[in-house]
Chain A
Amino acid sequence: MQALVIVAHGSHLNPESSAPTFAHADTIRATSAFDEVREAFWKEEPHFREALRTVAADEVFVVPLFISEGYFTEEVIPRELRLEGWDVTDWESGDGVSASHATYTADDVEKRVHYAGPAGTHDAMSDVIVRRAESVSGDPDVGEGFGLAVVGHGTKRNEHSARAIEYHADRIRERGRFDEVEALFMDEEPEVDDVTEYFDSDDVVVVPLFVADGYHTQEDIPEDMGLTEDYREGWETPATVDGQQIWYAGAVGTEPLMADVLLERAADAGADVGDAIEQVREGTRVSGPADD
């Protein structure tokens, strides 16, 4: 038997924080790739501490639904899962975006635990960002005439956070699909507040690299960009700011294709996922305008 455990932050205050985790777990569950798919959280139940005992399987793939390498993925989760002999160098990352997986036993259960790198730094995450741009614009071919802003926290909270944002922005830029691609940040230059200054395109899709919608993605960023005076009144999509059309996507983690990244992480760590990756890619595709 093999189990997938998706570990995410969760919240004591926001009931919707765990919604993307459950949604992606359901998508993966529907593929039948794993005997068991479970969710565990830092701020909800089951807690990381009790995650491994909630599955019967003796092979467990743990995939963090986190954006970057850092405090949670390198320190909190391994400690709380009680991974024996965890050493961050086992991930062989070093540049903040290359952690793949490492295998351990845990000292409270008799299981083999394959601990994967965070979803946010997997290469497939670039595809999710692009897919997010497709879904917010409603155009499966969006790109020409459009700019794309990938937004994250800056380094103040986590030194690798900015690295993950830049990594995906660079990868998407290299594909040449969008006219312009920029990495923007909340608490350092280049700042998302000045989004229109960094793009010449008339249309700019803004995709925050966050797992769940919450204070930052639904209050802070929309107000800072000038989409609305007051987040409670909502905003248009697209909204006109300084004569440019801003297509604000909200948290990338809510995009259904995110389930694909979790599967890829587990597959990289050795899980047998059959054709689940193809199923998820197919099943979450954005349909274009209906043909008349």
Chain B
Amino acid sequence: MEDAQLDAFVAAAEDGVDCDGLVAARRSGGDGQNEAAGEYVFAVDGDRRDNLDESTFRSLASDHSSYGGNWYFWERGVPPGDDRVAFLRWLEGTDTTQLPERLDRLESGVHATWGQLHVTVSLDPDGDAGEYSRQYALCHADDVTSDGADLTEYHDPLDARELSKLDEDGRYRPLKTAPTLQRGWHFPDLGPHELVRAVECFYPATIPNWYREGEGDLDIDNWRDTAERQTGIYEVVEELPREAVEWVAQACCVDSQCLKRREWEYDDDEELAAPAGDGEFPCREPCSLVVAAARKWTILEGESERTYEFELTPSEKNQLEELIDAVADGRVDDVREADVGDGANRYRARYLRAKRFDEDGNLCGVETTNGDGE
């Protein structure tokens, strides 16, 4: 430990230190007596020494400089906020790997995944918080095996706002936790503040909500709470039928559509059947996209059903189902140009339209009837 770190450690002992197996304290002199020798406590991994004078205390700290240096990083090197510190600790596996083994592992890099983000934590001897400072490399989880040379390098965490704005095909991503994060970029050398900032830009509010959940303090608003809170044009979502809420969750909230793990249910007493997902971070209430979509479905569900009669071959019925599946599963762009065996192939769809639609676009010439009694 450098002198400045050692001084900081001695000062911190006043209030007590307890970090990764390192414990330090300074006993008050008892009844306000003058400070005297034998008042410091120092322990590493349970090996405890009491009644130490300052110079012995200092020398013990020097002998265990990796513990002291590690403490200094967590004391001085990390951003404010218990949630952010907890996240940084989780990234390097503080629950499962203790010092000194963890520091050895950090030498070669410790890996973690957060949604589609891949984080590599390593030591940065030149970092601002001493030789046990951490450095974070961030990239898309699917780019881990890429040679860094293939990836565009970024250093400003706020660039994550642009990187998360559009998907691989240049389409806008209004839902930040959709599994459509574009690839091809990396942040090779972020400090702890910058890493947290970048993650906050990629996946806003996931760190505080994950932390709250870990503390048993996640404030969940179920569907009913959320629907009843709405006003203005969204007030109608309160009228969405119970079973339709299931379909909303199936449509929007499963892992293929959103990486948050749904923790909200229909209400306090009724759970939804749709899978909640396996994501690392929780979803604490229906998001604005779900509410906006639910408004549309509420209006659509206000229509009454009626009977139509269509003449289709079995294959044509199958093809309609295949088309809906292809759109719902987002695989339309994957259908090969000449793969006419696939019902969602463009030529197949055009053929069906040519055969079965009339000039007004009605399937089998059957007009859509609007309103009761028409």
Q: Which residues of A contact B (CB under 8 A)?
A: 1, 11-15, 22, 26, 35, 42-47, 49-50, 53-54, 56-57, 71, 75-76, 79, 108
Residue of A13, A53, A57, A75 most packed against chain B (CB within 10 A): A53
DSSP majority for the A interface? loop
A53→B205 contact, CB < 8 A: yes
Partner of B288, one of A13, A47, A75: A47
Known contacts being A56-B79, A75-B231, is A15 close to B165, with CB within 8 Å? Answer: yes
List which B134-184 residues lie within 8 A (CB) of chain A: 158, 161, 165-166, 172, 174-177
CB proximity of A245 to chain B, nearest CB, Å:
35
CB proximity of A4 to chain B, nearest CB, Å:
15
Task: Say yes or no: is B204 at the interface (Cβ < 8 Å to chain A).
Answer: yes
Task: Say yes or no: is B373 at the interface (Cβ < 8 Å to chain A).
Answer: no
Contact sample, A vs B, 16 pairs, CB 8 Å cutoff = A12-B174, A12-B289, A13-B172, A22-B161, A26-B158, A42-B288, A43-B288, A44-B174, A44-B176, A44-B288, A45-B176, A46-B204, A47-B287, A50-B204, A53-B212, A71-B232
Residues of chain A lying within 8 A (CB to CB) of residue B81: 56
Residues of chain A lying within 8 A (CB to CB) of residue B80: 1, 35, 56-57
Nearest A-chain residue to B287, judged by Cβ: A47
Task: Say yes or no: is B209 at the interface (Cβ < 8 Å to chain A).
Answer: yes
Q: Which residues of B contact A (CB under 8 A)?
A: 79-81, 83-84, 158, 161, 165-166, 172, 174-177, 200, 204-205, 208-209, 212, 219, 229, 231-232, 285, 287-289, 292
CB proximity of A146 to chain B, nearest CB, Å:
37
Count A/B pairs, Cβ under 8 Å: 59
Residues of chain A lying within 8 A (CB to CB) of residue B289: 12
Residues of chain B lying within 8 A (CB to CB) of residue A56: 79-81, 84
A76 to B288, CA, bound (A): 13
Residues of chain B lying within 8 A (CB to CB) of residue A11: 174
A53 to B210, CA, bound (A): 12
A53 to B177, CA, bound (A): 18
A49 to B200, CA, bound (A): 15
Known contacts being A12-B289, A53-B205, A56-B80, is A43 close to B231, with CB within 8 Å? Answer: no
Nearest B-chain residue to A46, judged by Cβ: B204
Residues of chain B lying within 8 A (CB to CB) of residue A14: 172
Nearest A-chain residue to B217, judged by Cβ: A108
CB proximity of A96 to chain B, nearest CB, Å:
19
CB proximity of A31 to chain B, nearest CB, Å:
15
CB proximity of B321 to chain A, nearest CB, Å:
29
A12→B166 contact, CB < 8 A: no
CB proximity of A158 to chain B, nearest CB, Å:
11
CB proximity of B246 to chain A, nearest CB, Å:
23
Known contacts being A15-B166, A26-B158, is A45 close to B172, with CB within 8 Å? Answer: no
Considering the complex of A and B, which 5 residue pairs feature the smallest CB-CB distances, nearest first? A56-B81, A46-B204, A50-B205, A15-B172, A56-B80
Residue of A1, A22, A49 most packed against chain B (CB within 10 A): A49
B205→A79 contact, CB < 8 A: no
B208→A54 contact, CB < 8 A: yes
Residue of A42, A54, A76 most packed against chain B (CB within 10 A): A54
Residues of chain B lying within 8 A (CB to CB) of residue A50: 204-205, 208-209
A42 to B208, CA, bound (A): 19
Residues of chain A lying within 8 A (CB to CB) of residue B288: 12, 42-44, 47
B174→A43 contact, CB < 8 A: yes
Nearest B-chain residue to A55, judged by Cβ: B81
A42 to B175, CA, bound (A): 12
